[in-house]
Structure 1
Amino acid sequence: ADMDGMSPGVFLSSYSADKTRLAINKMPSVEKNMRIKLFVDATSTANQQLRLTDMTNIAPKYNVYVIDHYKKDSLQLSLNNAYNFNINRADTASLGANRLELVFKLDPQGAYKLLNLAGKISDRNIILNWTTKNEAVYTVFTIQKSMDGGKTFTDIGMVTSNASGIYTFTDIGVDNGQVSYRLKQTVLENEIIYSDLVSFSFKAADASTFFVYPNPAAAYIQVNMPKVFKGAAEIRIISLTGKIIQKVAVTNNSPRLDVNALFPGVYIIEAKDANQNVIGQSKFIKL
């Protein structure tokens, strides 16, 4: 758009929300039924053409129209990117601020929709899966977690849309008790939608159970040993070839071990009591 500078023969400017003519525009987030007035003028009577050449920042779910109030006509620019019109200097209604207007209108068939959100338990992990329709590449999914029945939530991850319609996220090493999840869906800068909750329940481990979580693990593992175990114990991390990689002496039933230094792969974890009796054995994957 111009502001009448450099002696142009044709003038085109858009108006801001406060009715100021703009020479340089930064396109705001498109909202439902958004309207932008245009100013048009020319130094002589002539045929003109309005072209919309770049629509990369406009979501496909919005149709773009030019409304010609002078001719009582309209054209969908998202299908036809040029609109031809005539400026008649002898008719002031054919020029100025009250003739042309851009309208951005949501296509109901193209609106974003969350089709499904579900999850499943895998060891001590929760795998969330969801499907969507008509999401844009700038749609953001924030995974939120609640341990108090949905009263308060914590952000635990974020997934940016790739327009595939199929997404997944894994919450690793979930604590005992009831846990709920929801999706915070940022469709546009100022349009946020929250999903319904999906909930799961983890019971306290059985007293005779020996297991490791999270599994797979990246930084640490938590070892659950039977409550009948007393005194000191030794935990060994062993490679699949039988090599002892790490030995740790512990005195409690739920030690936390640092596995940051391990190479990615599958390992055996084994616990023995002071008499070298095996308390338990399992496998885990180091990411």
Structure 2
Amino acid sequence: MQKHGIGENVNQVDFIQGAIEAALSRLVPASINPPFLTVSSRTDAGVHALHSSAHVELQNKYDVMYDSSSLIRWANRYFTRCGHDIRITSCVPVTHEFHARHCAKSRTYIYRFLVDKLPGSNSFPISELDRSFHIGSSDFDVEKLQKALDVFKGRKDFQTFTPNKKSRKPIRYVRTLNYFKLEKSAPLILDGPFVDNFHYYHLKVNGKSFLYNQVRRMVGALFAVARGRITEKDLRTMVQVPNYKNWNPRATAVPACGLYLADVEYDPEELKRCTIVPENCAVVDLDNEIE
């Protein structure tokens, strides 16, 4: 089943947020307050989330904690029964001081793309469909892309790389990229049909936070440099003169299919400080409850 990104429509179970909230609303004993998930990062439709995080407040009439391990098993059984390709991999009881979004130290995104080894290849691996972006090799220079990555590194104003959207709050356009690098990758299925016809790459970027569409636009601009549609000087101008009007029309934001939220990182000491030790609290084991 294909999933939408983590969106705001909590009434639709096909949204990941809604599916998780639906699972938590069926806990036994039930939570007194409706479970509302606060996610660390929102992803658009078509963007994949390999590893994300969220926090939720749960309180039952017995005023006891839910056992983390049994909650994971209980929720994942629910997702399996409903056919949702979602899995909870860890669950940590935390204090009210912890906030999934604000406490995040950094976020890592990957953009996955394939380049033809020979021009004009029409045979595309089915395993890569909707999971990567395909680029023809006839005009794509990987070395130009590699060199242009340095333009983005460090603390920059990225107003050029986000659409002009109305917002009730002032938008902070200055962001810091801890790294932005190109890595060679491999096919998702090593022995699948046509997999040897392509070179596989990941663009990997890490920062505390990103603007709406920032990663897809940065990658699109890099691809435009690699294909000779804009120069590295054009790219520097887009960064050094930040304004949404300065987006070069010869560059195009890349499709969502190749973008992955790979990880959300937290400071281990901060997380430890906010963690509630179960030994000091009464705990309910969901494995012993009737669903």
Q: TM tier, shorter chain?
A: under 0.3
Higher share in helix:
2
Give the number of the structure with larger relative contact order, counting CA–CA contacts within 8 Å between residues 6 or more apart: 2
Higher share in strand:
1
Q: What's the TM-score once normalised by structure 2's chain length?
A: 0.26
Please identify the structure whose Cα radius of gyration is greater: 1
